[in-house]
Amino acid sequence: MDGFGDREQALLARARRVLPAGGFGNFAPEVILERGLGGRVWDVADREYVDYLLGSGPMFIGHCHPEVTEVVQDQLSRGTTFFANNEHGIALAEAIVDAVPCAEQLRFVGSGTEADLYAMRLARAFRGRDKILKFEGGYHGMSDYGLMSLAPRHLANFPRPVPDSAGIPKSVAEDVLVAPFNDLEAVTRLVEAEGETIAGIIVEPLQRLIPPAPGFLEGLRALCTKHGLVLIFDEVVTGFRFAYGGAQAFYGVTPDLCTLGKTIGGGFPLAAVAGRAEIMAHFDKALVGEDGFLMQVGTLSGNPVAAVAGLKTLEILRRPGTYEAVFATGRALMQGLAEQIARAGLPAQVVGEPTLFDVVYATGEVRDYRATLRADRAMQAHVNRVLRQDGILKGESKFYVSTAHEARDVDQTLTAFARALATLPSR
């Protein structure tokens, strides 16, 4: 294991003994991080990185923000979880309802996967129908329903779903319909043919990196209203990242339900499903009766540590100029990457929004999942590898930008990107 110190090698060996594939299933297992501060992290060998991974998104205001640390430390001395209501969780729910256009009520859960699972279950309970329509390439957590046609290795004709994992019952495919993202005509045809069996449509407003085409989200809203379907925005990633009211405020389209995660927990496990009160009523047996009741229990749901971290994070995000600053940082990075791509004459483009984007190593418009399959994966892997060698940490296909990133981080990133492009194998 060239390039790894004794401590790293020992930790990797220990991990391989007790962890399948030697890791947690999230990120490259050879990256063993030890601490973070602001927009940077350090590994166990004390190598420093500009951090665009951000824990896969939660650290939107940076690592170890002193104000978040202070309130968390205070709460730790008072209790970590109670399995009962607590004032901080109630206050966080109030803050979210005040901020998010579709949210009249919400229910906390422990992860984005749970939030998406419950949102789909709510839609089925509310409409009394079984089928959910989702989009090929859309990620909605690790449930059986979520792992249908996320990244299918073998493309199927729409609307047939393809399971992305072993262990998913074949029967799940009967209740999932799949459409191409950004193709409103295809969705309309599908809804008109299957509408009486569909409970709702779940969509990432920004699908992984791909922005919605003009009119696409508005068209989904109109279609769901016309046919009585529940429109679900999966905002686990985009919630409070694109605007204080989330992607639904950013794009100006209000769903019936949304899911939230990552940012609302301030770095601690917390997520939520939120939406119209008449749909959320299915969590209240007194309102809907035994047959309409949707049971939901979570040991750590709304725990006070995550709640105080989330409350403080939202308070910080409300401060004047916060979103303007992080968007300016993201735009500078996107523009710098695009300029270098153009100078190098590469078949690549920057895709996404200023707080969440990446380089897609392909030409032509990127409107849906199948368009991303044109990307040169070897080129992408080479660039990511060189970036990491030069102290830039990012996901396989994402730059998460935080409010803690600075001009020097952008400069270091662009310098590393230039070296990565200069060292590309001959094409």
Residue 291 appears among annotated catalytic residues: no
Residue 139 appears among annotated catalytic residues: yes
- Residue 41 CA: distances (Å) to CA of 2, 47, 180, 383: 22, 8, 37, 20
List 43, 234, 256, 358, catalytic entry: 234
List 49, 52, 118, 139, catalytic entry: 139
Residue 376 appears among annotated catalytic residues: no
Contact 159, 179 (CB under 8 A): yes
CA Rg value for the chain:
22
**Which residues share a beta bridge with 273?**
107, 259
Got the DSSP string for 283-323?
Answer: G-HHHHHHHH------TTTT-HHHHHHHHHHHHHHHSTTHH
Contact 202, 138 (CB under 8 A): yes
List 134, 262, 312, 398, catalytic entry: 262
Side-chain half-sphere of 88: how many Cα atoms within 13 Å?
27
- Residue 220 CA to chain centroid, in angstroms? 20
Give the C-alpha separation, 118 to 22, whole Å.
Answer: 31
Give the C-alpha separation, 271 to 268, whole Å.
Answer: 10
Q: Which one, of 388, 340, 400, lies nearest residue 58 by Cα? A: 400
Catalytic site positions:
139, 234, 262
